[in-house]
Amino acid sequence: MMMRRWMAGAAMALAVLGGAPAQAQTLTMGVRSPFNIDPHFIFLGPNMAASRHIYDTLVNRDADSRWVPGLTLSWTAIAPTTWELKLRPGVTFQDGSPFTAEDVTFSFQRIPNIPGNPGPYTPNLRGITRTEVVDPLTIRIHTTQPNPVLPGQLTNVFIVSRRAAEGAGPSDFASGRAAIGTGPFRLEQFRGPEGMDVVRNDTYWGDKPHWARVQIRVAGNDASRTAALLAGDLDLIENVPTTDAVRLERSDRVSVFKRPSDRTMFLLPHVGAETLPLITDSTGQPLDRNPFRDIRVRQALSLAINREALVSRAMDGQAVATGQLVPEGFGGYDPAIPTPAYDPDRARALLEQAGYPEGFGFTVGCSNNRYVNDNRVCQALGQMFTRAGFQAKVETQPGSVFFTRTQVGRNDVPLVLFGQSSSSTRDATHVLSLAMHSQQVSRGFGQSNRGAFSDPDLDKLIEDAAFRMEGDREEALRIAMREAMRLHAGIPIYTQMTIAAARRGITYTPRLDEQMVAIHAVPAR
């Protein structure tokens, strides 16, 4: 038997009483993107960050994305397809009801069954066939295949109260009726696109938060968010504009906290459709075939991108150019894969070989309020593609519109800018399985494959790595990464930095996964 075990007006004055940080009063945070607080609705970073205040996961991950005990004290692979989890005793929900294994099974069942969910959390349940309740504090998770990163997947599975959430939809969470968790804060008021207020959960099982109350305000405009910090209206902000980072580091009023993140930005060419209305010939008429289905065209796209210049200019140096889908230090990162060269002449030659000597037109779709400098990056990419012989049109939209429009199975945009966070598995399993594997949603694969790329041989390589419990799993991940990059299933560009800033007197530890969570902010002593 194989055994693996891992144990594990907000210018309100801040009062730090008697040197006891737990007595600090109000923290006001400025976040970039609106969010919802149904923890199973739309699998996006801003939603997960908000949920981490109210709810817990079975397995937590710390600021460095290491797996640590959460609602589960230990997780053990007792067989190749069976994990046993020992739940934390004595935990109560914020309404006083006890947390039990029944709440876990209910949460697992709820995730795939929310009607109209444009971004389900189902990838985090990939391969789970059933959850067996052994006793109120022991569960066994059975999987179709061996899954060495199942504990990592569970770091994104938020547990809700069956009593409060049975039959509830997103509106019931927004009203507060169903928003009952076991997390460090309890919901005071959700204000929709404006944000939410939470208060300390004094019955929390873990270390008590330093803040009695946290106001989370949505401040989508980067300049306004920075100005509010400098004016004292916000105590802590995320997504500090790259143009402001150096200036703020020289300020005696604020402190800047930054680190490379786990998010690699890449382009997804739409190769699944035979034709796309947003791909045109050199005269503007729709083409009768999809050029992105030709690998030479996808190679030309990559050669058209000057990654170093993009990082220097559009990202103000606050990113790392790359040629693969996970950051250095993550499993599956292959140092032998170079950052692709910038060669617009070669790009033009490949277009001619593919039958497009005059190039062709297409739309590049991007969000304009989700990723760091996403609008600037998209505009720069459009210019680079045009210089290499394409006629690129750039279209940016708010994330709430962009992600709905480009969701898997409904995307009509030829080329989209997308970012994938890999902290849940801390290796390439997550991004390869979700974005590079064929769309097989019922099996938990391809849920982020907006380009509908499909290659059976690549699928086999990804699955071999994903299901491997023994042997050289690292090499299996690298083999899959090399093949995905050879096929240009996705076109990596750079890895983001995560940059936060706080007023003097507050220390913040940025999370590798870029999610801003109040428990990582502490009053300076």
In DSSP terms, 265 is beta-bridged to 419, 494
Domains within the chain, CATH numbers bracketed: 4-253+504-523 (3.40.190.10), 261-497 (3.10.105.10)
Measure the CA–CA gap between 126 and 150, rounded to whole angstroms: 8
**Helical residues (DSSP H) of 423-524, grouped into ranges:** 429-431, 456-466, 473-487
**Residues 6 or more apart whose Cβ sits within 8 Å of residue 189:** 176, 196, 197
Sign, Cα dihedral of 167, 172, 178, 184: positive
Residue bearing tokens 């309890």: 186
E strand spans, 398-508: 415-421, 491-503, 506-508
pLDDT for the residue numbered 6: 31
pLDDT at position 4: 38
The separation between CA 322 and the C-alpha centre of its own chain, rounded to angstroms, equals 18
Sequence-ordered list of residues with C-beta below 8 angstroms from that of 499, at least 6 positions apart, any chain: 239, 240, 242, 245, 256, 257, 258, 318, 372, 510
Task: Give tens-digit pLDDT for 274-294.
Answer: 999 999 998 899 999 999 999
Strand-pair category, 195-200 with 158-159: unpaired
pLDDT tens, N- to C-terminus, the chain (525 residues)? 333 333 333 333 333 323 334 446 999 999 999 999 999 999 999 999 999 999 999 999 999 999 999 999 999 999 999 999 999 999 999 999 999 999 999 999 999 999 999 889 998 998 899 999 999 999 999 999 999 999 999 999 999 999 999 999 999 999 999 999 999 999 999 999 999 999 999 999 999 999 999 999 999 999 999 999 999 999 999 999 898 998 899 999 999 999 999 999 999 999 999 999 999 998 899 999 999 999 999 999 999 999 999 999 999 999 999 999 999 999 999 999 999 999 999 999 999 999 999 999 999 999 998 899 999 999 999 999 999 999 999 999 999 899 999 989 899 999 999 999 999 899 999 999 999 999 998 888 999 999 999 999 999 999 999 999 878 999 999 999 999 999 999 999 999 999 999 999 999 999 999 999 999 999 987
* Distance separating alpha carbons of residues 436 and 434, to the nearest angstrom: 6
Maximal CA-CA distance, the chain:
74
Q: How far apart are CA 456 and CA 131, in angstroms?
A: 30
pLDDT in tens, 308-321: 999 999 999 999 99
